[in-house]
Structure 1
């Protein structure tokens, strides 16, 4: 706790730098609120992955930089959607640092990935089942839930996701494809589908 407090006194000096990356006054205000509200949680999350205070500090600083660059995607600083977005960023930043010493494990695909459209998924997204969809996404392994949150909730395209998560575009495509398949299976278990029995 003392370490975290000392770190945030140091990081507070960086706040001016982060704010200088943001043009709009409203976005600056949003970022400052995020900085105040989520800083301790981000440090704790990074520590739980890295088990090293210096690396956790670096992960939080890198995460704040990513948040500053993507601040226009955040509409409301204090909501569960924003909290989930921030957890995704800090977790992936910390995991990326953890992997940096190892060979990056990619998921190659031998063929083009088809676009998956599902009546079940479309129905859930367009109906009042949004919270059910988010619960189903949350039950997936984080390798898929994080990427689906960025794709389905925040509307990021594959290239933006690959940059944010520091993974190859092909890997992002692969995880989106596999994540959607897993999500559809889970949603079909919950909601069923009339069409599955028809030929």
Structure 2
């Protein structure tokens, strides 16, 4: 149903209905911004990349072929725009408070569970920050956004086998870093 909705609005935009594009922007703006912020680790740069990506989408909408989902095509544009931005500007840092990394569903959770969630989010953010942009994007697309390997292949241009290997190696890196973090925290406690 979503693909049909997207196709309807894409056709409307191509027919000259500029307002129809706002539907696509509203539908995908959070996804676009989230991917950009996770790659760039900087809110302002992510906003700029999101705007640039939507502008590119609008300008190139006629080139979209329905071979893949619109969201996959859009992800590819965001990914490429963000990676280009990283190449131009060196890495910047961003605190966990500046980004909406996870939504906490039940606000009635007790303090200890809430603390554990916050602690886990901070640890996960530290792990992600240790990764290079490409690995961070793969982890984000696969685990946090739920993309399939085939979609990630279309988005990044990597072949499926390469993605599986990179995901495996990245998980291993994250696991090793997690052991280091936990070990240092245990030493601090003792």
TM-score tier, shorter chain, comes to 0.3 to 0.5
User: Which has the bigger relative contact order, CA under 8 A and spacing at least 6?
Assistant: 2
Q: TM-score, normalised by structure 1?
A: 0.42
